Chain A
C-alpha cells in the first residue's frame, strides 16, 4: 500500500491548528489552575467518614455541651486536639462484664459506639480523620485566637448544626489575611467564644459595658480591639516560621 501524503494545501491550516491547540490549552489550563485548584473548590465541603458517627449537632447543638469539654487544649496552646477515648467513656461507659451499667452508661451498647468501646478495651487509639488541615509550613495557634475573642464559628462555621462535620470555610491564606487586616467583624467577648450562635444582637442593651453595642458588631469589634490591644500581624513570620 502506498503511504498517504497530506496534500500541500493542508499546510495553510497548520498555523490555524497550532492556534487552536494553544487556545484550547489556555482555555483548559486557565480554569484548571484558577478555579479547580483554588482553595474554595478544593477545601470547602470536605466531609470524611469518621470511625465513630459522632453528631456535633446532637452534642454541641441540642445538648449545648461546651466545645472545650472535648477539645480541651483549644484555649491552652496551638492544637485543639481530638478527645481522648476516656472523654467519651465518661458518659458512654460500656457495661461491666456482668452486664451492669458502670458510671453513666448512656447508650452503652449502641453499635455506633463500638469503636469507642474497642479503643477502651484494647488501649488502641481511635483513628479520627482530620478535616481542617493547614499545610505544615503554617503555624496556626488556636489559643492565640480563642483568647483574643475569635469564636470557633469564624473558621469552623456552625459545627453545632452539623450532623457530620465538614469544612465550611476555605481557610486559604487570603482568607486568613482578610481577617488579620480587618478583625472587627469577628471579635466578641472571650466568654462567648464557644457560643456558636451568639451575635451582637444577643448583647443585653442594659449591660453596663457592652450594652451600647447591641446589634452593632462593627462597634463592638472596634471596642474590643482597642480594649484588648489586638493588633493582628500580617507579616510572614506570624504564621510561617
Chain B
C-alpha cells in the first residue's frame, strides 16, 4: 500500500505496517480481537490451569452459600470527622520519579487509593486560568498530574517491596531469592529487626565518631528536600571527615553548568510557558521527561484556544519523537549531537537582528531539499523570536550539552526573556561548602579501600550507574554498606544491611517546588512494610535525641518561617499542602552574555566537526542535518533517555507503568532501539508490527542486543533507547534474571561523562527476531474492509488544520456528509432526563502524556494483563490514546517512496466509550447487560454479562474490553508466581482497589462508564445537602482530573451554561463517526497547528478539507448514480422476466 497522495485516500496512518498493509495489521482491523484471542494462555500448563480453575470452583462453592460469616470490626474510638466510605483528601508533597509532586491524596477509610494534583498549590494557582472566560476556573480548579504519580499508589502496595531488614555478612554468596513483603508475611519474623540494626548502628557510629567520620561515605540523591538536606549538613558537621556523594541517575548538572558559565550560580530556573507566545524546545521533552512536565503542560495549554486570539506557537527541534514533538506546531528532526551547532546558528541570526523576509517567488516548504529546509527553519524561528522579544522562550533538554544550555540561556537574555518568561530564582543551597565527591571518584576511592562505611540513600545506584564504573567492586571493598532500599534489588545484594525504606505516602518529609514553595510530605498510612523513612535513618546517623520525624520536619519549617512560626502555621501548611509566601526570591544575578563559550562535550563537538578524534575548542557553525536519502552511519548516535513509563528503572515493578503504552511507540513491557525508517534500512534491519529484528550496539567492550522499533520522523542516524529495563532483581513484575526478563538494559553502554548522547558506537543488524508487545494497531478504528464508503473515515476521525485555515473558515472541522440521510430504524431513546452527561476533548491541548490512562486504571480497578496477553490484543485499558501519524504528502509523493513518509507529524486522540445515545452495543446485547441510564450514560451491568462479545464487535470505536481471565485475581497485579504466598499478596495488592467500582471477573465485558460512581455519588451528595442542584464542575471524571492540559471537560449538556455545552457548540467540535447516527456524547475539538506560512506544507497552504470533500462527494455521487443505474437495470430485468 502506498502513502496516499490524493485526498480520497487515507491521510492519517497509525504505523508503518498500515502503510505497508501487513497481514498483522489487517487482522487487527478485521477482528475486534485477533485470532486465538480466546485461546489458552501460553506458559500455563493445562495441569496448572485445571488447578487454578479448580481453586476458583472451590471458592465459588464457598461463596455461593448465603450464611458464611462476615465480620466487621468497629472502631474502639472513632476518629472524629470521618464518615465510613466517604473519601478524605490530604495534601502532601513528595519527589516521585525525579519530579516534585504537589499532590492531593484521596484516602478512603485510612487507605490512600489515588493521587492527584493539588489545585490550591501556588504552582498551579498562579496559572489557574484555564483559557475559558466563563468565571468557573475556581470550580474547575484541578492541577493535573502525570502517569507515574497516578501509579504511585500501586508501588505503595507492592508485595515485592523489601519486607524486612536483611543483613548480608558474606556478600560473595549467591544473593538468592528476593526478600519481599510476601516472604516476610509467610515467615512472620525476620532474622534481624530494627533493634538489631539500632544496636549495630550505634556501635558503628561510636567508632566513627571517635575519628571524625574518617572512612564514612554517604551516597544520596540530590533533591529539593530541605529536611533531608538539613540533616545531611548536621551529619557532615558531626563527622567532619565524612564524604558526601551526590548521585542522580537522570537529571544531570548540564543546565547548571551552562548557567554557571554565564556567571550565574545558586539559582533555579523557573519557566512560565503561559507568558510566552513563541516557545522553542531544543531537544526538550517539555511535557514528558522534563522535571516540570506537569506545570509545563498546564501553562502551555492555557494559550491554546484559537478563539482567544493569543494562541501560542511551539517549535520543537528534537532527535527522538517525543510527546512534545507531537504537541508542537512545528517539529524539525535533528540529531541530538547537532543541537549545539544549531543553537549557534540561531544565536548568530538573532545577533544579526534582521528578520528574514519571504521572497515572493520562493518555493513552499514541501518542495525544499533537506538542506534548504534547515535554512528555512532557522530563518523562520529567528524571525519569530526577534518579533517576540520578551514573549518568547528557548528551552533546552536536561540531557543536552552544557554548551547548548549556555547558548540557549544567552539567547533568552538577548531576547529580554529573563524576568518575563523565564525567572532566575535564588535557591539556597543547604549543602554549600560541604566536602563532596562524584560517584566515579567515590568508586575509585572505595576500590582503593578508603572507606569502611557507606550509607546509601540513592535508589539502586548499582543498576543505574554508567557502565564504566564498577560500583559492585567498590561496595564490596567497603566493610559496612547500609542501603535504604525500596526492594531487595541489585544494590541490596552488595550491601551488608538493606533497610526497608518508606514509600513517600508513608513518610514524613518535605520538598520545595520549582518556584521554591515549601510543602510538607505527610504520611497517609502507617508504613505497610514496617519501614523507616530516610529522615529517620539520617537522624540516627546524626545522633539526634529527637527521632520523631514529624517533629524534625516541623523543625525545618520553624527555621524557614523564623519568628512567625506557630503551631497554627504548621497545621495550615499541612492542611493546604504548602507554606504561604515561601517562594524563592527572584535573583539579582544577571547573565553575562559576553562570557566565554563552553567547550562542547565530545558527542556534540565531534559531530559538529564531522571528524572523529579531534578535540575542537568550539563547535563549528555548521549543522549536519538529517538526510533521509543518505544516512551517514559514521554519525550514528545513541540517545539514552529515561523511560516514559518506568523512569530509570525504579518503577520497573509497577505493573501499571509497565503496561502503560509508551506515548509514541505504544510499546509495553519492553524497550527497543527506536530509529527512523531510513536508519533501519541503512542498518539492514526491519520490523513487522510485533516482530522486530535485533541490533547489537557496541561501545568499546560493552555491548547490548535489543530489538529495533521503527518510529517515522525520528532524526536519521539517531537511535533512542529508554533506560530502566532489563532489571535483574526488580520483582515479579519488573524482571528477575534467570526467571524472566522485561526489556533490555542499556546501562553498560553509558559512560560516566557521556550519559545521554553516546557517539563512537557501533551498531550492527542481526536477523534474529524478537516479539514486541505494542498496542499501536490494536483497536484500529479506520476499517478498510467494509464497503466503499470507508476510506473517507480515517481523515474524519482525527481532524487537523492550521490556525490560518481555521481563521479562514471556522467550520473547517465540520465534514458534510453528502447524500447521507440519517434515519433511525427505531424510535430514538429519551436519554436527557434531568442531566445529559457529555464530554469534550480538546485535541489542541492533548499531548498524549498518558496521565489519563493511568488515572482511569487507578480509579476503575483496571487490571494489567502481562506482555503475552497484550500482544494478543487483550489489554484492558478503558481509555487509550490513539496516535495517528500524518505526513507531508506532496513531498512523500515527489520522492515516490510511500513507506518512508517525509516530515511525519503526530496527532494524539484519547479514545474511550463515547456513550452514544443510540449505542450500537446495546442493540446487540442478548441479555440487556449494557443499557442506557436516563441521563445518557451507557451503563454496564457486569453481573448480567454472559460474555458473548457481540457488543465489542458492534462498537465502532472499539473501546470495549473483555476479561479473558480473572485478571484481577489470577493474572492481575500479581502476575506469574502462584504459590502459598499468594493470599498475602492479594490482600496487600487489593488495598489499591477503589471500593466504589466493581472488580470484574472472567468472561465479562467492560468499558469506560464516565466514572458513573462519581456521577451517582454527586447526585446522592446533592440530595443529602438538601436537594441543591449539581453545579457544572461538581462531577469530574478521573481522566479529567488527571489532565494537566485541561483538555478533557465533563459535564451536563442540559445545562446551557456548562463548559461542555460551550465546547460542543464550538465550531471546532466534531463527533467521531457521526455519520453512523450514533450520537456520541464525547466530542472532540479539532487539532490546530499554528504553523508559520513559510513552514507550511503544500497541503497546509491549501487545506483540502472542504475541497477534498466536495471532490470526494462528487466522486461518491458518481458512484451512487452508477450504482443506481445498475440497480434500476436489475429491476427492469426482473420486471421483464
Interface residues of A (CB under 8 A from B): 42-43, 46, 48, 72-73, 75-79, 81-86, 119-120, 123-130, 133, 135-137, 139, 141, 143-144, 147-148, 228-229, 231, 233, 235-238, 240-241
CB atoms of B84 and A77 under 8 A apart: yes
A116 to B636, CA, bound (A): 75
B931 interface residue per 8 A CB criterion: yes
Residues of B within 8 A of A235 (CB): 931-934, 939
Fill in one digit per residue for B43-83: 1 if any A CB lies within 8 Å of its CB, else 0: 00000000000000000000000110111111111100001
Interface centre among B76, B942, B1023 (most CB of A within 10 A): B76
A73-B75 contact given A139-B1013, A235-B931, A240-B998, CB 8 Å threshold: no
Q: Please, which residue of chain B has its CB at the minimum distance from the CB of A143?
A: B1024
Residues of B within 8 A of A228 (CB): 1027
A46-B941 contact given A81-B74, A141-B1020, CB 8 Å threshold: no
Of the candidates A79, A129, A137, A147, the one whose C-beta lies within 8 Å of that of B70 is: A129
| Further pairs besides A77-B83, A77-B1024, A236-B933: 6, Cβ < 8 Å | A81-B84, A130-B71, A139-B1013, A237-B937, A241-B998, A241-B1009
A76-B83 contact given A85-B77, A137-B998, A241-B1013, CB 8 Å threshold: yes
Residues of B within 8 A of A236 (CB): 931, 933, 939-941, 944
A to B CB contacts below 8 Å, 8 in the list = A72-B78, A76-B1024, A77-B85, A126-B74, A137-B943, A236-B931, A237-B1016, A238-B1016
CB of A123 to closest CB in B, whole Å: 5
Q: Please, which residue of chain A has its CB at the minimum distance from the CB of B65?
A: A42
B86 interface residue per 8 A CB criterion: yes
B633 interface residue per 8 A CB criterion: no
A119-B998 contact given A235-B933, A238-B1016, CB 8 Å threshold: no
A240 to B944, CA, bound (A): 10
Residues of A within 8 A of B1013 (CB): 139, 241
A86-B85 contact given A144-B1020, A144-B1023, A237-B1009, CB 8 Å threshold: no
A79 to B75, CA, bound (A): 14
Of the candidates A133, A137, A147, A237, the one whose C-beta lies within 8 Å of that of B933 is: A237
CB atoms of A124 and B74 under 8 A apart: no
CB atoms of B933 and A233 under 8 A apart: yes
Residues of A within 8 A of B260 (CB): none
CB atoms of B83 and A237 under 8 A apart: no
Residues of A within 8 A of B1027 (CB): 228-229
Q: Please, which residue of chain A has its CB at the minimum distance from the CB of B834?
A: A231
CB atoms of B1012 and A237 under 8 A apart: yes
User: Which 10 pairs, one residue from A and one from B, show the smallest C-beta to C-beta distance?
Assistant: A125-B73, A237-B939, A236-B941, A84-B75, A42-B66, A235-B933, A82-B74, A130-B70, A84-B78, A85-B76
A46 to B69, CA, bound (A): 11
A76-B86 contact given A82-B74, A129-B70, CB 8 Å threshold: yes
B996 interface residue per 8 A CB criterion: yes
Q: Please, which residue of chain A has its CB at the minimum distance from the CB of B1014?
A: A241
B186 interface residue per 8 A CB criterion: no
Residues of A within 8 A of B940 (CB): 236, 240
CB of B281 to closest CB in A, whole Å: 42
CB of A67 to closest CB in B, whole Å: 15
A81 to B75, CA, bound (A): 10
CB atoms of B84 and A73 under 8 A apart: yes
A79 to B1020, CA, bound (A): 13
A46-B71 contact given A86-B76, A147-B1023, CB 8 Å threshold: no
Residues of B within 8 A of A130 (CB): 69-72
Residues of B within 8 A of A83 (CB): 74
A136-B998 contact given A79-B85, A235-B932, A237-B1009, CB 8 Å threshold: yes
B1031 interface residue per 8 A CB criterion: no
B997 interface residue per 8 A CB criterion: yes
From residue 893 to 949 of chain B, which have CB atoms closer than 8 A to chain A? 931-934, 937, 939-944
CB atoms of B942 and A137 under 8 A apart: yes
CB of B873 to closest CB in A, whole Å: 26
Residues of B within 8 A of A135 (CB): 943
Q: Please, which residue of chain B has its CB at the minimum distance from the CB of A51?
A: B71
Residues of A within 8 A of B1009 (CB): 237, 241
Residues of A within 8 A of B71 (CB): 127-130
Residues of B within 8 A of A48 (CB): 67, 69
CB atoms of B998 and A82 under 8 A apart: no
Residues of B within 8 A of A148 (CB): 1023
Of the candidates B73, B941, B1020, B1024, the one whose C-beta lies within 8 Å of that of A240 is: B941
Of the candidates A75, A81, A120, A241, the one whose C-beta lies within 8 Å of that of B996 is: A241
A133-B83 contact given A84-B76, A85-B76, A235-B939, CB 8 Å threshold: no
Interface residues of B (CB under 8 A from A): 66-67, 69-78, 83-86, 834, 931-934, 937, 939-944, 996-999, 1009, 1012-1013, 1016, 1020, 1023-1024, 1027
CB atoms of A119 and B76 under 8 A apart: yes
Residues of B within 8 A of A125 (CB): 73-76
A75 to B1020, CA, bound (A): 11
CB of A168 to closest CB in B, whole Å: 15
Q: Please, which residue of chain B has its CB at the minimum distance from the CB of A237?
A: B939
A77-B86 contact given A136-B998, A139-B1013, CB 8 Å threshold: yes
Q: Please, which residue of chain B has its CB at the minimum distance from the CB of A81?
A: B84
A241-B83 contact given A83-B74, A129-B71, CB 8 Å threshold: no
Residues of B within 8 A of A126 (CB): 73-74
CB atoms of B85 and A84 under 8 A apart: no
Residues of A within 8 A of B75 (CB): 84-86, 125
A37 to B549, CA, bound (A): 56
A139 to B994, CA, bound (A): 13
CB of A197 to closest CB in B, whole Å: 26
Residues of A within 8 A of B85 (CB): 73, 77-79
CB atoms of B72 and A128 under 8 A apart: yes
CB of B959 to closest CB in A, whole Å: 17
CB atoms of A84 and B70 under 8 A apart: no
CB of A227 to closest CB in B, whole Å: 11
CB of B1019 to closest CB in A, whole Å: 8
A81 to B932, CA, bound (A): 32
A192 to B1050, CA, bound (A): 38
A144 to B86, CA, bound (A): 14
A129 to B85, CA, bound (A): 19
Of the candidates B72, B76, B939, B944, the one whose C-beta lies within 8 Å of that of A120 is: B76
Q: Please, which residue of chain B has its CB at the minimum distance from the CB of A119?
A: B76
A141 to B1024, CA, bound (A): 11
CB atoms of B70 and A133 under 8 A apart: yes
Residues of B within 8 A of A147 (CB): 1023-1024
A241-B84 contact given A143-B1024, A235-B939, CB 8 Å threshold: no
A238 to B1009, CA, bound (A): 12
A79-B939 contact given A85-B76, A237-B1016, CB 8 Å threshold: no
Q: Please, which residue of chain A has its CB at the minimum distance from the CB of B75?
A: A84
A229 to B86, CA, bound (A): 25
CB atoms of A240 and B84 under 8 A apart: no
CB of B362 to closest CB in A, whole Å: 60
A125 to B75, CA, bound (A): 6
Residues of B within 8 A of A76 (CB): 83, 86, 1024
A231 to B86, CA, bound (A): 24
CB of A198 to closest CB in B, whole Å: 22
CB atoms of A233 and B934 under 8 A apart: yes
Q: Please, which residue of chain A has its CB at the minimum distance from the CB of B64?
A: A37
Residues of A within 8 A of B72 (CB): 82, 127-128, 130
Residues of B within 8 A of A73 (CB): 83-86
CB of B335 to closest CB in A, whole Å: 51
A123 to B74, CA, bound (A): 11
CB atoms of B997 and A241 under 8 A apart: yes
Residues of A within 8 A of B942 (CB): 137, 240
Residues of A within 8 A of B941 (CB): 236-237, 240
CB of B862 to closest CB in A, whole Å: 14
CB atoms of B66 and A43 under 8 A apart: yes
Residues of A within 8 A of B84 (CB): 73, 77-79, 81
CB of A83 to closest CB in B, whole Å: 6
CB atoms of A139 and B1016 under 8 A apart: yes
